[in-house]
Structure 1
Amino acid sequence: MSEHSISASRVIDAPADAIFDVLTLPSRHKEIDGSGTVVSGDDQRIMQVGQVFVMNMNGEHMGGDYVMENTVSGYDENKLLAWKPKPQGAELEGWEWIWELEPQGPEATLVTETYSWEHASPASKKAVSFPLFEEHALEQSLERLASAVSYD
């Protein structure tokens, strides 16, 4: 953990393209969410930087149900996927989710998930106590991702 981010890594017994396939389909994020906040997501596949996808969320920190607009900030097929979330109707922004994939042979991939609030706006830092999620939530996401990929 750094001052402004937390990360977790795990080798998953699947090729990078199979993992990337799950990560780039927001409708599957509920399956892999270790934080317990994702309710549902878009059926449209993430394809490029600048693309916006929507997630329906639920969290006590936001008073219950809310909608998160995520702008893709990093995309390198089978290697990197990152997005910057922004709750609809709230002036909260500046944090980022980053997924990095590094092949470890033909059937294994080192996956690192990073949750960064380095560029969180002052309003976000005032409204939210960072980190909003602990490293355990990232570890859970990686475990759930491994399960999701093994069932494909």
Structure 2
Amino acid sequence: MADSDTSITVSRDIDHSAKDIFDVLSLPDRHAQLDGSGFVRSADHADRITANGQTFRMNMTGPHMGGDYQTDNVVTGFVRDKLISWKTAPAGTEPPGWEWVWELDPQGPRATHVTLTYDWSKVTDKELLKKVGFPLVSKHQMEQSLARLEETISGS
């Protein structure tokens, strides 16, 4: 997916297997280590992601929400070692339409092309669009997330 008015996509080649990368991405307890935006603080209620439809709760912080808050994240895509995605919403609410998508394309036994997409194309609430000011996370912050993913896996 290319960048548009409603999405940002970044990619990076990481010298680790898709399995190793997926093991980190599918464990929400590791997401704070990966977050280049500084919004993710910790997992509140989060088992390893193993299927579509799972929900995990994260502790977050940011001025756009007045400080500390929580999100519920509903898994929308799950293909082991290939794809993991989720829609995010303020805790206790239905996802209003933005989604995070991680795609893994193995380039051999110890190399993977990783693509991260932040897509808010399905957000239709005009008040929310004004309040949040999409994109809330920048391309640079997403590139930082990929760099942190590589650092996290290299340190595992």
The verdict on a shared fold, with TM-score over 0.5 as the criterion, is yes
Separation of aligned partners in 2, 1:4 and 1:74: 19
After TM superposition, give the deviation of residue 89 of structure 1 in Å.
5.5
Q: Which amino acid aligns with 1:95?
A: W
From 4, 8, 12, the equivalent of 2:10 is 8
Is 1:70 matched with 2:70? no
Structure 2 runs not aligned, ≥5 long: none
Secondary structure, counterpart of 1:94 in structure 2: coil
Secondary structure, counterpart of 1:34 in structure 2: coil
Q: 1:49 to 1:92 in 2, by over 3 A?
A: closer
TM (norm. structure 2) is 0.93
After TM superposition, give the deviation of residue 126 of structure 1 in Å.
3.0
After TM superposition, give the deviation of residue 124 of structure 1 in Å.
2.4
Task: Output the aligned Cα RMSD.
Answer: 1.4
Separation of aligned partners in 2, 1:120 and 1:127: 12
After TM superposition, give the deviation of residue 145 of structure 1 in Å.
0.1
Tell me the matched-pair count.
Answer: 152
Secondary structure, counterpart of 1:3 in structure 2: coil
Q: Percent identity?
A: 52
- Which 4+ runs in 1 deviate beyond 3 A? 89-92
Secondary structure, counterpart of 1:100 in structure 2: strand
Q: Which amino acid aligns with 2:75?
A: V
After TM superposition, give the deviation of residue 72 of structure 1 in Å.
0.2
Secondary structure, counterpart of 1:121 in structure 2: coil
